Amino acid sequence: MSDFKRILALDVGDRTIGLAISDLMGWTAQGLHTIRRETEEKDLEALKKVINEYQVSQLVVGLPKNMNGTIGPQAEKVRAFIELIRPEINCSITEWDERLSTKMAERSLIEADMRRSKRKKIIDTAAAVCILQGYLDYLQNQTK
């Protein structure tokens, strides 16, 4: 089992960072929790703790591109966050197009008949699950 590594997905927002982790086989994504953003140092500390706890080898960071594929202000903030953490962690980092991931997550939670108040608490984690599952599916299709 030591050959298998986990992948951690991040849905980086201004106030929170949603987290999702892969299984050891790299087939499925499970939601972890949300980091409430405070300072860059505390955000990095919380992220390092998760990376160490789950022995993560790769980060997949959702990049919120505009619908036409261009990079807007929010995507620039995410890229700045990536550059902040890159020298501090020992993982490869992959940017992943996350257009509509939050909408997909919200639709899934609504279909599960989840109340709005509960959805608000887990939407960022659910979006990270969508990001990671999309990436894992992509990897699986590349090996076929």
Confidence class of residue 68 from pLDDT cuts 50, 70 and 90?
confident
Fold of domain 6-142: Nucleotidyltransferase; domain 5 (3.30.420)
Question: Quick one: 5 exposed, middle or buried, by C-beta within 10 A (0-12, 13-18, 19+)?
Answer: middle
Can you tell me the mean pLDDT for 65-80?
89
Can you tell me the mean pLDDT for 21-26?
93
**What average pLDDT does the chain have?**
87
The CB-based long-range contact list for 86-90 (8 Å cut-off, 24+ gap) reads: 88/44, 88/48, 89/47, 89/48, 89/51, 89/59, 90/51
Three-class secondary structure of residue 106 per DSSP: helix
Please report, for the chain, the start and end positions of each structural domain, with discontinuous segments joined by +. Answer: 6-142
Alpha carbon 43 to its chain centroid, in Å, reads: 14
- Looking at the whole model, is its pTM more than 0.75? yes
Read off the pLDDT of residues 76-103 as tens digits, 9 standing for 90 and up. Answer: 999 999 999 999 999 999 999 887 666 6
Can you tell me the mean pLDDT for 34-43?
95
